Amino acid sequence: MSSLWETFSTSLRLGLTSFGGPIAHLGYFERTYVEEKRWLTHEEYSHLVALCQLIPGPASSQINFLVGMRRSGWAGAISSWAGFALPSALLLYAFAVLAPKTQGPLLAAALHGLKLVAVAIVAQAVWGMANRLCPDRARTGIAVAGMALLLLFGGAFAQIAVIIVGAAAGVWLCRGVTTASGSQSSSISAKTAWIAFSVFVALLAGLPVLAALAPGGLPSMADIAYRAGALVFGGGHVVLPLLRDALVPSGMMTDDIFLAGYGMAQAVPGPLFTLAAYLGAAATPSGASPLVWGAAALVFIFLPGMLAAVAGVPVWRWLVSHPAAQGALAGINASVVGILGAALYDPVWSTAVLGKTDVVVAVTGFLLLEKWKVPPLLIVVFCVAASLASKLL
């Protein structure tokens, strides 16, 4: 029970403080789960990152889910997901119900400060992972090439292509390299994986039928959320067009309502997929319960990604158990560094750093994290305060 509580409380702390989106979350997770708690080795963590980049769904939430499972079984997985997702989900649900006004220059400055937090967090993650996972010229070259390809072509599927190319390059360039195998201690069996995959497919095929039988009802909301979570690669920002195209043209909400929720989602910590709690509540028809609709949208947008993660772990475990795969895994690890490096520039740096003052704040935040080991929460306070001060002055 103490292990389960520690799993939940650790994830809840991350859910309350992890600003900056899915790429920044990877930095928070590495700092917490690898360096602070030591629940994973650096190599095991990098394998989880690579696995969750290859499957549909929100990568950071999937990683958090699998870490909870490794720590405390199925109960740990569910509590870990709940701790990470519920803070932002409750805030976004409250926004949908209360509809507070969110405009104003000071709020905009505070949101800008949160973007600078993401710069510092992601930069630390890239720096640390590059030092560990790219110790030689071959792996450094794979990382740089992957980063260049992503910056040139972009897109979620480009990330998958970079990982595949990195694996192939690793087989060729990293012969004799050995990496620690990740996910080997997982309790997920092949039978459980097949069940998860079967449920994934059954819901993907069955929910549209239920939605057709009750158009505009709760099954329609569940179907929209599930399809968005099942068919998206690349995290929260990629899922937004899918959700908008399903909700706005159908008349379930207006563009203004949708964009207001998206703007609010930038101001809260945790996974962007929790926007579903807002969308479900905002789309609730007259006479129905916003709480039920918000909860249904929240659960069904996360469910396919978690099922995919459970189905993928035994496949990954089988892969890493083969000595011949070690070069490929070294290349994949280097590719993950390239993916993080590309994300550090675009969108993290390009959308946050707009002038010389922003450069000073972001670099100072990075140095506070990396050199002086200042807790991330204090970095949030520092960056937001600096952004507000800049606006006022």
Distances (CA, A) of 249 to 127, 214, 226: 43, 18, 18
| 27's tokens | 């930095």
CA atoms of 331 and 338, how far apart (whole Å)? 11
CA atoms of 105 and 220, how far apart (whole Å)? 38
Render 182-198 in DSSP notation, one character per residue. PSTT----HHHHHHHHH
CA atoms of 370 and 185, how far apart (whole Å)? 30
CA atoms of 99 and 92, how far apart (whole Å)? 10
**3-class DSSP state for residue 114?**
helix
Render 123-152 in DSSP notation, one character per residue. HHHHHHHHHHH--SHHHHHHHHHHHHHHHH
Do 151 and 56 contact (CB within 8 A), yes or no?
A: no
| Residue keyed to tokens 């549209």 | 208
CB neighbours of residue 251 within 10 Å: 9
Q: Which of 222, 249, 268 is nearest to 96 (CA)?
A: 268
Q: Which of 114, 109, 19, 120 is nearest to 387 (CA)?
A: 109
Residue type, 107: L
pTM, full prediction: 0.79
CB neighbours of residue 392 within 10 Å: 9
pLDDT at 184: 47
| 206's tokens | 């069955």
Q: What is the DSSP letter of 31?
A: I
pLDDT at 182: 46
| 283's tokens | 């789309």
The H or E element containing residue 249 is: none
CA atoms of 343 and 150, how far apart (whole Å)? 9
Q: What is the DSSP letter of 181?
A: P
Measure the CA angle with vertex 310, ends 197 and 348; round to 5°: 115
Return per-residue pLDDT of the chain as tens, 393 residues: 678 999 999 999 999 988 877 778 888 899 899 999 999 988 889 889 888 888 888 989 999 999 999 999 999 999 999 999 999 999 999 989 886 455 568 777 887 887 888 788 878 888 988 988 899 999 999 999 999 998 998 766 687 788 889 999 999 998 877 765 544 456 788 999 999 999 999 999 999 999 999 888 999 999 999 999 998 765 566 677 778 888 988 889 888 788 778 767 877 889 989 999 999 999 999 899 999 999 999 999 999 999 999 999 998 888 777 777 888 888 988 988 898 888 788 877 988 899 999 999 999 999 998 899 888 778 888 998 999 999 898
Q: What is the DSSP letter of 215?
A: T
Measure the CA angle with vertex 24, ends 277 and 233; round to 5°: 60
